[in-house]
């Protein structure tokens, strides 16, 4: 089997995505997680351009990494500078990384219109920079920026750029589809031509502007590239970079390639790694993301569920466990008895055929009034346990209320008051919040923490409101879906009412009962401080 080198650029290209700003601690944490997963190289920023990146390279030297090589990123020398005097080159050397990746222009359009220099001067910049960095003892990767666009318009010059990097001693030439507009067959045709004149190893760096970054990366590997660059979850500038969460399992599970450090055990950490990056980036995970998304192995149609129960291959291209994901059976008014039976079995419960039929009818009735269980697995589990007499409330709500204080020239203050009962004991708590739901959520968890300290580690992740019959105006029925997280575990609950606060409260209370129920079964002494 052929080996492929996995090169992650989440901490450089990925953080150029709109809305993403990694702190120093974030960058160190991500580097450790990627190393744990088994990534070969991590490109960690541009020390010559960003002070935070420069500081990062000092800090990462204190971290012991098991698998990963750290790469510093930068450009060739400036046209007006001698290479020995160029600050960007100096900072790359000062970063003290074993690997340096520099980019140079391979599209004559950029050389003339952006750099405003001659084509020959650009070749000299590349040769000087690569040679100097290689003489410093670094492993050197050269990113041929805009290579595919450059090759399409001036193939002779694009090849000269690669030859200049080879002459300078580059260890690997990375062909970049920087604008993300190249098609897979063009990737193959161009790499085939390049390999006729370039003998050193090639890599691929694809952007996703044409929604083809993964396809282009895989086609490049099939065409002879041995290194693939990308980011976790495909985050990156504009529409993003090639998504390593799709590239890696496709290469290993379907195309017969191996990665140096990502074996079957490491591959099972893919979903976990993906979610970790989303969390650090403060982004909601993309539920429909292939391989690692929550919906990647979700089944709704009764016919599909029935078939998957008999043989997963009928509607799953791989076993979800191979990438650390899991199969999910969705419950809705479209679900047949097979869905419900499968879901009940997934929960480790037993129900008679009569109870299954009763539950199916009850679900249809609830969804007719506005409930939805697709994104509320926790509500479904509680529903099943209530129907089978296995549900026990961990607390009772005595009362709750909400007050809004409006003062001139001051933002309104919302105050929530909650009184709960656990056994013979009662607790009354008042809390302020940014809005009514936040105030009630805070007050409820404060009250519960007196009896169950573990709730301090529960965080609200998502809050969705849907008006089900807008034509009814202010009398419309509202559905609220709430997602919470406890460490790495997430769950969702649903509430429905003509009163949005009541619907939210229903989902909040059900969420707390659900996680307390789970923790009681799964963790010893969880209710002690």
Q: Which conformational region is residue 256 in: left (phi greater than 0), alpha (psi within -120 to 50 degrees), or beta?
A: left
Beta strands in 212-312 (DSSP E): 227-230, 298-299
Burial (CB < 10 A; 0-12, 13-18, 19+), residue 1, is: exposed
* φ/ψ (deg, to 5) at 260: -60, -40
Q: Check if the beta carbon of residue 492 is closer than 8 Å to that of residue 379.
A: yes
Residue 149 makes CB contacts below 8 A (sequence gap 6+) with: 107, 109, 177, 178, 179, 181, 182
Q: What's the 3-state SS for 447-493?
A: HHHCCCHHHHHEEEEEEEEEECCHHHHHHCCEEEEEEEEECCEEEEE
Q: What are the tokens at 81?
A: 């500078």
Q: Check if the beta carbon of residue 292 is closer than 8 Å to that of residue 325.
A: yes
Identified catalytic residue from 67, 110, 304, 459: 304
| Catalytic status, residue 266 | no
Sheet of 396-407: strand order equals 396-407, 410-422, 425-433
Kindly write down the DSSP assignment for every residue of 344-404, as one continuous string. HHHTT----HHHHHHHHHHHHHHHHTT---TT-HHHHHHHHHHHTT----S-EEEEEEEEE
Chain-centre distance of CA 101, in angstroms? 25
Q: Which of the residues are catalytic?
A: 304
């Amino acid at each position: 089997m052929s080996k492929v080198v996995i090169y992650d650029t989440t901490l450089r290209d990925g953080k150029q995505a709109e809305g993403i700003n990694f702190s120093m601690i974030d960058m160190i944490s991500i580097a450790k997680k990627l190393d744990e997963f088994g990534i070969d190289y991590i490109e960690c920023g541009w020390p010559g351009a960003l002070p935070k990146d420069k500081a990062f390279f000092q800090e990462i030297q204190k971290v012991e990494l098991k698998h990963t090589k750290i790469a510093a990123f930068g450009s060739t020398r400036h046209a007006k500078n001698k290479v020995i005097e160029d600050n960007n080159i100096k900072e790359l050397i000062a970063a003290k990384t074993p690997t340096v990746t520099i980019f140079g222009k391979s599209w004559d359009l950029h050389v003339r219109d952006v750099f405003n220099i001659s084509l020959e001067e650009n070749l000299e910049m590349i040769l000087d920079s690569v040679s100097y960095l290689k003489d410093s003892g670094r492993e050197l990767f050269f990113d041929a920026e805009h290579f595919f666009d450059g090759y399409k318009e001036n193939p002779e010059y694009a090849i000269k750029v690669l030859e200049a990097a080879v002459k300078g001693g580059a260890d690997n030439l990375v062909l970049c589809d920087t604008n993300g507009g190249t098609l897979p067959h063009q990737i193959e045709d161009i790499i085939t031509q390049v390999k006729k004149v370039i003998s050193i190893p090639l890599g691929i760096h694809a952007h996703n502007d044409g929604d083809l970054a993964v396809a282009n990366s895989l086609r490049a590997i099939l065409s002879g590239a041995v290194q693939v660059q990308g980011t976790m979850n495909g985050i990156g500038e504009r529409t993003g970079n090639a998504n390593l969460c799709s590239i890696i399992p496709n290469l290993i599970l379907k195309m017969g390639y191996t990665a140096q450090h990502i074996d079957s055990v490491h591959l099972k950490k893919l979903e976990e790694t993906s979610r970790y990056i989303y969390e650090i980036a403060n982004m909601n995970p993309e539920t429909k993301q292939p391989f690692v998304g929550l919906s990647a192995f979700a089944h709704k149609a009764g016919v599909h569920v029935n078939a998957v129960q008999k043989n997963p291959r009928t509607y799953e291209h791989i076993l979800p466990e191979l990438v650390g994901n899991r199969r999910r059976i969705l419950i809705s008014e479209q679900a047949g008895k097979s869905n419900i039976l499968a879901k009940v079995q997934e929960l480790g419960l037993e129900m008679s055929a009569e109870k299954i039929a009763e539950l199916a009818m009850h679900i249809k009735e609830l969804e007719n009034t506005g409930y939805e269980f697709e994104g509320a697995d926790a509500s479904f589990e509680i529903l099943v346990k209530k129907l089978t007499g296995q549900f026990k409330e961990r607390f009772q709500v005595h009362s709750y209320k909400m007050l809004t204080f409006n003062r001139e020239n001051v933002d309104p203050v919302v105050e929530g008051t909650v009184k709960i009962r656990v056994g013979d004991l009662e607790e009354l708590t008042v809390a302020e919040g940014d809005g009514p739901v936040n105030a009630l959520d805070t007050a409820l968890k404060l009250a519960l923490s007196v009896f169950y300290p573990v709730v301090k580690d529960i965080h609200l992740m998502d809050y969705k409101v849907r008006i089900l019959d807008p034509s009814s105006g202010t009398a419309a029925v509202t559905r609220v879906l709430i997602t919470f997280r406890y460490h790495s575990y997430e769950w969702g609950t649903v509430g429905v009412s003509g009163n949005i606060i009541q619907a939210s409260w229903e989902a909040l209370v059900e969420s707390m009962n659900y996680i307390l129920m789970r923790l009681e079964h799964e963790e010893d002494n969880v209710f002690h401080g």
